[in-house]
A = this chain, B = another copy of it.
């Protein structure tokens, strides 16, 4: 069965919805934790479920190299391999291979040549190969293989890149062969208003199960640029399909993205900053190694309902960090992921009550980056 998006309510552009998948019904807008190598770093599935996680991500490039899509397929798919029974989305691998592709002939009509980050082996990823791997991984949602041009690309380059991404999207769709998996198309176009519109319209014509906005997560010059790219794309994305803003997960960006009509977000941020000792709070990030927490026997955030905040103090977490105990990263990952998921829960409640603008204003006022 393909996924099905159900729009329940709108408050301005903000959308409250449900996504029906083969692995359960999940609420949108949602934040999706990243489980690159078939695990959300340091955590087990029960912990993700306890945080009310909806969808998690797997990274196609990483899983292709290790353990290999054949192993995951033989295990019965990614859900069985990692023992996660909720819905899983896989990316296309495009973002990773573009960052590894060097030399002027690396990117061709056929696909992308690059060297493995593990052993330098020469490899090639094509639209067909990306789809094949994702079909084998058997995630609930697969992503089209798109070109990821830098935000600094010229108008002419961006236009040609969109044309290629459309051809690749068509090739991937033609190669697609998994009736239990859905496929998303990706809107590109940098910060050019007409290109975003054109990319969205042409991608929608190919008829995907959902649509995402790419090319904004990493090298936008300002957050305003990112928000503009969303505003340029959203009006041309159908109301009856989910909308996914790829690679974005700063709390402020989630709040702004929801306001613009985004349903799905993903980012490595909550687990990455956890490993560096940082915790999200409603008033901004805390560096938990700070000496001021030495004798602070209160939780990271009094109002937080996560396992970490209901069981441990700042002083204990600081101690674990200072002593280089990896449990610190685990406890902070739990807190940070739960923080973003709770943020989307609160956002959904606000949309339901037609109070999203007030919710957003209050959040942005309190949160200092």
Do A71 and B315 contact each other (CB < 8 Å), given the known contacts A41-B327, A330-B42?
Answer: yes
Residue from B41, B295, B330 within 8 A of A71 (CB atoms): B295
Is A67 a contact of B319 with CB atoms below 8 Å? Answer: yes
- The smallest beta-carbon distance between A334 and chain B, in angstroms, is 10
A44 at the binding interface (Cβ < 8 Å): yes
Q: Which residues of B contact A320 (CB under 8 A)?
A: 37-39
**A41 / chain B contacts, CB cutoff of 8 Å:** 325-327
Assembled-state Cα–Cα distance A331/B315 (Å): 26
Please, which residues of chain B bring their CB within 8 A of the CB of A67? Answer: 294, 315, 318-319, 322-323
| Bound-complex Cα distance A276 to B312 (A) | 28
Distance (Å) between the CB of A170 and the closest chain B CB?
A: 33
How far is A82 from B325 in the complex, measured between Cα atoms in Å?
Answer: 13
- In the assembled complex, the CB of A61 is this many whole angstroms from the nearest CB of chain B, namely 12
Determine which of B66, B75, B82 lies in contact with A322 in the assembled complex, contact meaning CB atoms within 8 Å. B66
Chain B residues lying within 8 Å of A329, measured Cβ to Cβ, are 326
Min Cβ gap A67→B in Å is 4
Q: In this assembly, does A155 line the interface, its C-beta being within 8 Å of a C-beta of chain B?
A: no
Do A43 and B327 have beta carbons less than 8 Å apart? yes
Separation of A79 and B82 alpha carbons in the complex (Å)? 33
A 266-309 contacts with B by CB, 8 A = 294-295, 297, 307
A307→B45 CA distance, assembly (Å): 12
Per the 8 Å Cβ criterion, residues 207-224 of A in contact with B are none
Distance in Å from the Cβ of A83 to the closest Cβ of chain B?
Answer: 5
In the bound complex, do residue B39 and residue A71 qualify as a contact, i.e. CB atoms below 8 Å apart?
Answer: no
**Contact string against B for A residues 26-57, beta-carbon threshold 8 Å, 1 for contact and 0 otherwise:** 00000000000111011111000000000000
A313 and B82 CA atoms in complex are apart in Å by 9
Asked whether any CB of chain B lies closer than 8 Å to the CB of A74, the reply is yes
Q: Which residue of B lies closest to A66 (CB)?
A: B323
A38 touches B319 (CB 8 A): yes
A316 proximal to B (CB < 8 A)? yes
The minimal Cβ–Cβ distance linking A367 to chain B, given in whole angstroms, is 29
The yes or no answer to A311 lying at the interface (CB within 8 A) is yes
Q: Which of B38, B315, B326 contacts A326 (CB 8 A)?
A: B326
Question: When chains A and B are docked, how far (Å) is the Cα of A19 from the Cα of B263?
Answer: 56
Q: Which residue of B lies closest to A334 (CB)?
A: B44
Closest chain-B Cβ to A42's Cβ sits at a distance in Å of 6
Contacts of A44 in B (CB 8 A): 307, 311, 327, 330-331
Is A157 close to B, CB under 8 A?
no
Pick the contact of A294 from B45, B71, B322 — CB < 8 Å?
A: B71
In the bound complex, do residue B74 and residue A319 qualify as a contact, i.e. CB atoms below 8 Å apart?
no
| Cross-chain contact of A38 among B74, B81, B307, B316 (Cβ < 8 A) | B316
- A43 cross-chain contacts in B, Cβ below 8 A: 327
B-chain residues with CB within 8 Å of residue A294 when the two chains form the complex: 67, 71
Which of A39, A325, A329 has the most B CB atoms < 10 Å from its CB? Answer: A39
A37-B323, A39-B327, A42-B42 are known; give 4 further A-B pairs, CB within 8 A. A37-B319, A38-B320, A83-B312, A83-B316
7 contacts between A and B (CB under 8 A): A37-B323, A37-B325, A38-B316, A44-B327, A44-B330, A74-B297, A81-B315
Residues of A whose CB lies within 8 Å of any CB of B are: 37-39, 41-45, 62, 66-67, 71, 74-76, 81-83, 294-295, 297, 307, 311-313, 315-316, 318-320, 322-323, 325-327, 329-331
Q: Which 5 A-B pairs have the closest CB atoms?
A: A67-B319, A37-B323, A66-B323, A39-B327, A83-B311
